[in-house]
Amino acid sequence: MLEQVKDWDDDFYEKFKPIAMGFVNEAEKCLQCGKCTGQCPAAAVTPSYNPRKIIRDLVNGNLKRVFSSVELWQCFFCSGCYSVCPMDINFPFFVFMFRLAAMNEGYGWEDVKQLEGYAEKDYLKKGITVSTFERNPEAMETVGDISKIRMAAGLPPERKVSDRGLAEINMISDLSGMTSFMKKIGGVELLDCKTCDDAQMKRCKNKPLPAKVGKIKTKLRFYNYGEPGGKAHAEA
Amino acid sequence: MPRPDKVAQIPKPEQIFFFKSCVASNKYPGIESCGWDSLEILGVQPVDSDEQTCCGGFVTFANVAAPTASMPAVARNLSLAEEKNLDTCVLCNGCWTFLNEFGHFMNHNEEVKGSVNMMMNMMGREYKGTSNVYHIAEMYYRLKDDIAKNVKRPLKGVKVATHYGCHYLGGGKYTAIDDAQMPTYMEELIEIMGGTVVPYTANRECCGTGFTQIINGKDLSLEHTQHKLDSVKEADPDLLIVQCPYCHSQLDRVQQQLNYRQAAAYETPVIHITQLVGLALGLAVPKLAFAAHISGRKRLEDVLDRIGR
């Protein structure tokens, strides 16, 4: 996507700051030194991902380019960019707030939908985000029953969160709008190899881009920051 | 090199609030049991509460929960420790950075703290911001003299490599006890326990989980982890030590996936720092829960045979 002068918005950064609750600030301090990109694990595998360019576009107000990019969704959240930054810009928080803003514009919902199940089925139902359920059959065979291992280690067979704790996080979720948000994007269908039928297997091999996630229409994302890298693209 | 001023700020309390981690509880229970028992041996009594939930970091960084939803969840977990007047000890880098950063954010934003407390008051709690959050690895470094005194099973001749993970050192640029680029405190701990440190090139590289990349961008994630594992394999350590259960899960499970997908032969056992300390302090073998590990099980048994069960 070519960059055009009319894409730029001088006040975008100033407008964005209050919405971002103080997570996105001091971006104008950026020296464009590129240390963040130099040590970035995502940039090592996909050369088109470039934190420096994303910060530049934030300050210039070229928001269309940031929001519609695939690169925004490639961050590993490792905080390495923050640890080397001479101006202490906490870039992972930028990505975090940018993703929320991009979702507001209709991008990236198909990624978020895949993760919604962890919140709905595990975090809110059991209070623990990672369940004992094993999606990999080989791992399941090797490990066996985790509750037996827990008991041998002198722990209760299952870690349980008390009912009061569960009620409280559900209340927080209702009050802060997380529940209604999850309803909006609809339930999830997580594929696993044990109960997979033929139709699901076909979809697993060549996953189509869903045009709609729940009630929200999704938009196509582009590689806006150069040629995509990575082994898959190098071979093609 | 560790910063002595930061280490001196860590107290040596009689009791500490033990914040459990999701991955540690449900995938690698040895981390939880060893963390608990080793703290007891070192003279710090862990205190538990069954009302603690997940820190909420995963759902927040998966963008399912906005910060408005995760701030109260953090405040609630920290208020459990505040009720008991204790500091919090966490097992996971993710929990550490999430509780610390969001706690810091609330402490310095009266407006946010006020609105969070409004929600807390509805369920009869209050967030004051008095509980500090410490990672168990920095607690071990603070208690290293006690560890040296209590070593029952010296790790003689065991080659150990380290992986620090991102969110403790990277996210805690000013709050962690060590430098983000060249940390050495785990190496020091290993030498105290009698092990041999094996350096490798990709030490400071990310494990490749990337919070959600292992689910949404699996190709990127595996490519990065493979790069890391290649470097580890070259150095050929007996054990790879991590201090984050999520790195643990990635480095342990991806080895098996790569062996299956690409017919590679990665067989390095990955264990958490609590399990290594538990091993050196002479905890019983079932307590270490190596049965839950997937890669390098044979090599783990060899190590146990060499240093004594």
Mean pLDDT per 10-residue interval, chain B, length 309 residues = 90 93 92 94 93 89 84 93 94 92 89 90 91 93 93 92 91 87 92 94 89 85 92 94 93 91 90 94 92 92 90
How many helical (H) and strand (E) elements, i.e. helices and strands, does chain B have? 16, 8
A43 and A129 share a domain? no
Q: What is the DSSP letter of A158?
A: S
Domains of chain B and CATH, by start? 4-136 (1.20.1050.140), 151-307 (3.40.50.11810)
A168 and A229 share a domain? no
pLDDT digits (tens, 9 = 90+) for A10-49: 677 777 766 666 677 778 888 999 999 998 988 888 888 8
Q: Which residue carries 């109260």 as its tokens?
A: B72
Nearest-Cα distance to chain B for A195, in Å, is 19
For residue A131, the enclosing domain spans: 109-217
Q: How far apart are CA A161 and CA A164, in angstroms?
A: 8
Give the closest of B56, B69, B212 to A115, CB-based. Answer: B212
Q: Which residue carries 């950064």 as its tokens?
A: A13
pLDDT digits (tens, 9 = 90+) for A46-63: 888 899 999 888 888 888
A40 and A133 share a domain? no
Buried b (16+ CB within 10 A) or exposed e, A156-174: eeebebeeebbebbbbbbe
pLDDT at A194: 56
A66 and A116 share a domain? no
- Domain containing A46 — which CATH number? 1.10.1060.10
pLDDT at A213: 67
Total domains, chain A: 2
Of chain A residues 138-197, which have a CB less than 8 A from chain B?
Answer: 138-139, 142-144, 146, 149-150, 152-155, 159-162, 164-166, 168-169, 171-173, 175-178, 181-182
Give the closest of B33, B215, B224 to A114, CB-based. Answer: B215
Does the pLDDT of residue A192 top 60, yes or no? no
Q: What are phi and psi of A218, to 5 degrees?
A: -95, 155
Contact B108, B145 (CB under 8 A): no
A138 and A69 share a domain? no
Q: How far apart are CA B261 and CA B256, in angstroms?
A: 9
Give the closest of B54, B67, B208 to A129, CB-based. Answer: B54
Count of residues for chain B? 309
Cβ distance B291 to A144 less than 8 Å, yes or no, reads yes
pLDDT at B73: 92
Q: What is the DSSP letter of B123?
A: T
A30 and A93 share a domain? yes
Query: For the residues A93-109, what does the mean pLDDT come to?
Result: 85
Q: Is B202 on the interface with A (CB under 8 A)?
A: no
Nearest CA in chain A to B174: A83
Q: What is the DSSP letter of B225?
A: H
Cβ distance A232 to B253 less than 8 Å, yes or no, reads no
Nearest-Cα distance to chain B for A61, in Å, is 23
A152 and A227 share a domain? no
A129 and A68 share a domain? no
Cβ distance B52 to A152 less than 8 Å, yes or no, reads no
Q: What is the DSSP letter of A218?
A: P
Nearest CA in chain A to B252: A139
Chain A interface, best mutation among B60, B63, B216, B252, by max A CB count within 10 A: B63
A138 and A81 share a domain? no
Q: Could you tell me where the DSSP H helices lie in A5-70?
A: 12-19, 35-38, 41-45, 51-60, 63-67
Q: How far apart are CA B103 and CA B80, in angstroms?
A: 13
pLDDT digits (tens, 9 = 90+) for A212-229: 666 677 788 888 887 766
Give the closest of A123, A138, A172 to B54, CB-based. Answer: A123
Neighbouring C-beta atoms of residue A202, cutoff 10 Å? 10
Q: How far apart are CA B246 and CA B22, in angstroms?
A: 9
A125 and A209 share a domain? yes
pLDDT at B231: 94
A116 and A85 share a domain? no
Q: Report helix, strand and coil shares of chain A as percent, to nearest 5.
A: 55, 5, 40
ipTM of the complex: 0.89
Half-sphere exposure of residue B116, counting CA atoms within 13 Å on the CB side?
28
pLDDT at A219: 80
A126 and A149 share a domain? yes
The confidence band for A191, taking pLDDT boundaries of 50, 70 and 90, is very low
Q: Is A23 on the interface with B (CB under 8 A)?
A: yes
Question: Hey, what amino acid is at A111?
Answer: D
Q: Which helix (H) or strand (E) holds B18?
A: strand B15-19
First-last CA distance in chain A? 21
Q: Is B173 on the interface with A (CB under 8 A)?
A: yes
Nearest-Cα distance to chain A for B8, in Å, is 22
SS3 B239: strand
Q: Which residue carries 């870690």 as its tokens?
A: A159
pLDDT at B146: 93
pLDDT digits (tens, 9 = 90+) for A132-181: 888 888 888 888 889 999 999 999 999 999 999 999 999 998 888 888 77
pLDDT at A188: 42
